[in-house]
């Protein structure tokens, strides 16, 4: 197993339905092939946990009930920790962000997405004051193939110096396999070796570069 330089990844956005859980589940499966991974499901809806319960080969998870348990895990565990932060702004979520090295914020294709990101950036700016080293990256997800406008708009926003976010080059297209995977307990690469899996692996390679530092 490789030793990660960057130890805590949070998939986070205060907005629901943007593919946080989908991203965590797929990343957990792929990154567990290379690193010792522990997944924390901080969303009360527990969709990441339910997905894992459906798996033949579950990834490693740890149940976290409060800030104390969270801090103890993040400070003492050598694994690469991937956190589904849920779609809310709670004390537990803020504590997790303060101990996070890389925030991945998925966005979906809609004209309201930039508004949501601007709001989330305000929370991130407060975190950055206390933890200047934190990396934050937008992941564009569930877009139609031909859509270059969403990426260009969000990229223009992330390019401004005042914003703390960078952006992944890989864009995840809308595909019905992503709906199927959650109910089947299979990752996108386990469901298909076609285009959706190839594209997701491109994203994984970008994230591995971040993890290697």
Ligand X SMILES: Nc1ncnc2c1ncn2[C@@H]1O[C@H](COP(=O)(O)OP(=O)(O)O)[C@@H](O)[C@H]1O
Of Mg ion, ligand X, none, which one does residue 174 interact with (CB within 5 to 8 Å by kind)?
ligand X
* Minimum gap (Å) between residue 41 Cβ and ligand X: 10
Tokens encoding 110:
């809609």
* Minimum gap (Å) between residue 17 Cβ and ligand X: 5
Query: Interface with ligand X includes 87 (CB under 6 A)?
Result: yes
* Minimum gap (Å) between residue 39 Cβ and ligand X: 13
Site string for ligand X, 113-132 (x = CB under 6 A): --------------------
In the complex with ligand X, which residue's Cβ is closer, 4 or 196?
196
**Residue ranges in 137-166 that form contacts with ligand X under rule CB under 6 A:** 141-142
The count of C-alpha atoms lying within 13 angstroms of the C-alpha of 122, restricted to the half-sphere facing its C-beta, is: 7
**Residue carrying the six token digits 């890989």:** 170
Given candidates 21, 38, 81, 105, which one binds ligand X under the rule CB under 6 A?
21
Q: Collect all residues with Cβ–Cβ distance below 8 Å to 146 and sequence separation of at least 6.
A: none
Cβ atoms 71, 64 nearer than 8 A: no
Chain centroid to Cα 49, Å, comes to 15
Query: Interface with ligand X includes 22 (CB under 6 A)?
Result: yes
* Minimum gap (Å) between residue 12 Cβ and ligand X: 9
As a whole number of Å, the CA-based R_g of the chain is 16
Cβ atoms 191, 180 nearer than 8 A: yes
Longest dimension (CA), the chain: 46
Query: Interface with ligand X includes 54 (CB under 6 A)?
Result: no
How many residues lie near Mg ion (CB under 5 A)?
Answer: 3
**Residue ranges in 19-78 that form contacts with Mg ion under rule CB under 5 A:** 20-21, 47
C-alpha distances in Å from residue 182, one per residue of 13, 96, 143, 201: 19, 25, 19, 18
Tokens encoding 37:
């991974």
Name the residues that contact Mg ion, by CB under 5 A: 20-21, 47
Name the residues that contact ligand X, by CB under 6 A: 16-22, 47, 87, 141-142, 172, 174-175, 178-179, 182
């Amino acid at each position: 197993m490789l030793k990660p330089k960057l130890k805590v990844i949070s998939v986070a956005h205060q907005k629901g339905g943007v593919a946080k859980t989908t991203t965590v589940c797929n990343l957990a499966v792929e990154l567990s092939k290379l690193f010792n991974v522990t997944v924390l499901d901080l969303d009360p809806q527990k969709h990441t946990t339910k997905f894992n319960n459906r798996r033949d080969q579950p990834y490693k998870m740890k149940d976290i009930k409060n800030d104390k348990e969270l801090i103890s895990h993040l400070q003492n565990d050598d694994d690469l920790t991937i956190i589904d932060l849920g779609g809310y702004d709670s004390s537990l979520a803020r504590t997790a962000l303060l101990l996070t090295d890389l925030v991945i914020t998925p966005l979906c294709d809609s004209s309201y997405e930039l508004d949501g990101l601007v709001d989330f950036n305000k929370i991130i700016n407060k975190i950055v004051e206390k933890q200047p080293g934190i990396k934050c990256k937008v992941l564009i997800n569930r877009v139609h193939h031909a859509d270059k406008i969403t990426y260009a708009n969000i990229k223009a926003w992330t390019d401004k110096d005042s914003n703390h976010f960078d952006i992944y080059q890989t864009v995840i297209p809308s595909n019905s396999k992503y709906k199927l995977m959650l109910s089947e307990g299979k990752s996108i690469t386990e469901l298909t070796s076609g285009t959706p899996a190839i594209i997701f692996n491109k994203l994984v390679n970008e994230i591995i570069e971040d993890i290697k530092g």
